[in-house]
Amino acid sequence: MMRQGGHNVQTRRSLIAGVAGFAACTSMAAPMVALARPHRHAAAPRHADAQEENNASANGAGMASPANTPLGPVDTVARWAYIFDYTTGAVLMDKASNERMPPSSLTKMMTAYIVFGMLASGRLHLDQQLPVSEKAWRTQGSKMFVPLGQTISVEDLIQGMVIQSGNDACIVLAEGIAGSEERFVALMNEEAPKIGLTNSHFMNVTGLPNDSHFMSAHDVAMVAGHLIRDYPQYYHFFGEPEFTFNKIRQGNRNVMVAKGLADGLKTGHTDAGGFGLCASSDRNGNRIVMVINGTSSSNERAHEGERLLSWAFANFENVTLFRRGQLVDQAPVWMGEHRSVSLVAPSDITMTLPLGWQQRSQISVDYATPIMAPVVRGQSYGALVVSAPGMADIRLPLEAGESVQKLGIVGRAMARLGHGPAN
């Protein structure tokens, strides 16, 4: 690190070798923001029936093809797939994740998000009774079997929606909250961009077929992450194993929940989109969110979901490299009352590492040297750089751990002559 007449020289110095990996974000960043996501052209959704069936097949489903992962291509029979680490936002698998797809009953996750928001704001209550309209009673597809002309509690309707995947329960909730399904759908479309959905448009609250109704696998995963993060007090509904209403007992349609492999969220099916699944699981404090769609049967969906979730947990780990305020490096200061300033982590820096990649990677610091006084505590003056073969560098900001005042006139004159603390 050379000083040339008081002018800054950009420097990059190796700090730690053999401890870095694929992807990272600081705890200050929203955990739902992926570090990199490939852009793809959108494909139009295809008309389909949203009712679950075991003998239907999706166009192109059943044939394995590669998905992008930090470990290289990994085959999956899912037509669309997206897996990410909930803590860091690191993308672990991506297959056509930005393509528009028929989301079927995965739509109900967004419906639930709006309902949970109403509950959290106090505009709706779990024990509140909502009336059953003829439209809700006549709604086809998967059912909670709501009785015409009666009222049902919001809590029962939520269970009917997320456990039994009841289309009728969704209609009762939408009409009870917004007055009509159409007005509730407007709330969904208004909220979508606020939570990071970029390839979604809703026409109904159920996922029943409509050519203008679509989501992407990435967007489904974003809704899942927001459900977990924004409304943890209601997330448990997705993990309940069964629900009995009107003397009809139905198990949770999410086989991952039934097997104890996940604590939520939802399944879905359309003829055009195939069989889909969104699941999340927390193992030893590490949470993974997975979305797959376009498998050819409920059995294939279950097997592929279990395989890919196990793959994600088996191949990646989270490592905290620096804690908030921890010293990362000392940077020289020019014309300051002190000759150096500490560069510290502005927050915990946690990284998602593919197992076995640690020895192929390194961490370095990158900043202009010397830093010109005055230096302001908390201001960014450099970056932590994570490098690994085959991946773009990841840069995380570093901040000054303390302030350094600029020297007075005499001090600056002495420093220029080589006698002051700036040396």
pLDDT tens track for 224-252 = 999 999 999 999 999 999 998 988 999 89
Residues forming the active site: 105, 108, 165
Rounded Cα–Cα distance for residues 383 and 215 (Å): 36
The annotated binding site for substrate is made up of 266
SS3 (DSSP) at 14: strand
For the segment 7-26, the average pLDDT, to the nearest whole number, is: 48
- pLDDT at position 317, please? 85
Confidence of residue 285 (pLDDT cuts 50, 70, 90): confident
Q: What is the DSSP string of 186-220?
A: HHHHHHGGGGT-SS-B-S-SS----TT-BB-HHHH
Rounded Cα–Cα distance for residues 197 and 273 (Å): 19
pLDDT > 90: percent of the chain? 53
- pLDDT at position 18, please? 43
- Domains of the chain plus CATH, in order, are 9-27+324-416 (2.60.410.10), 65-315 (3.40.710.10)
What phi, psi does 77 have (nearest 5°)? -80, -10
| 233/30: higher pLDDT | 233
Q: What is the DSSP string of 278-305?
A: EEEEEETTEEEEEEEEEESSHHHHHHHH
SS3 (DSSP) at 366: strand
Q: How far lies 249's CA from each of 150, 218, 264, 285, in Å?
A: 19, 33, 19, 33
pLDDT above 50 for 289 = yes
Per-residue pLDDT tens digits for 103-118: 999 999 999 999 999 9
What is the rounded average pLDDT for all residues in the chain? 83
**What tokens appear for 202 in the block?**
């809703």
Do 82 and 119 form a contact (C-beta atoms < 8 A)?
no
| 350/188: higher pLDDT | 188
For the segment 92-104, the average pLDDT, to the nearest whole number, is: 95
**What tokens appear for 324 in the block?**
């908030």
For the segment 116-127, the average pLDDT, to the nearest whole number, is: 97
Per-residue pLDDT tens digits for 313-364: 999 888 888 899 889 889 898 878 888 898 998 888 887 878 866 667 788 8
Rounded Cα–Cα distance for residues 297 and 269 (Å): 9
- pLDDT at position 236, please? 96
Give Cβ neighbours of residue 178 (< 8 Å, ≥ 6 apart): 184, 186, 187
Rounded Cα–Cα distance for residues 261 and 31 (Å): 22
- Nearest of 152, 176, 175 to residue 164 by alpha carbon: 152
pTM above 0.85, yes or no: no
| 396/34: higher pLDDT | 396
Q: How far lies 229's CA from each of 30, 87, 372, in Å?
A: 10, 10, 41
Q: Which of 26-35, 93-102, 135-144 has the highest mean pLDDT?
A: 93-102
Rounded Cα–Cα distance for residues 411 and 418 (Å): 10
- pLDDT at position 153, please? 97
pLDDT above 90 for 28 = no
| 271/293: higher pLDDT | 293
- pLDDT at position 14, please? 60
Q: Which of 162-166, 185-189, 329-333 has the highest mean pLDDT?
A: 185-189
What phi, psi does 183 have (nearest 5°)? -70, -35
Per-residue pLDDT tens digits for 356-410: 666 677 888 888 888 888 989 988 888 888 876 666 677 888 999 899 888 766 5
The annotated binding site is made up of 266
Do 349 and 321 form a contact (C-beta atoms < 8 A)?
yes
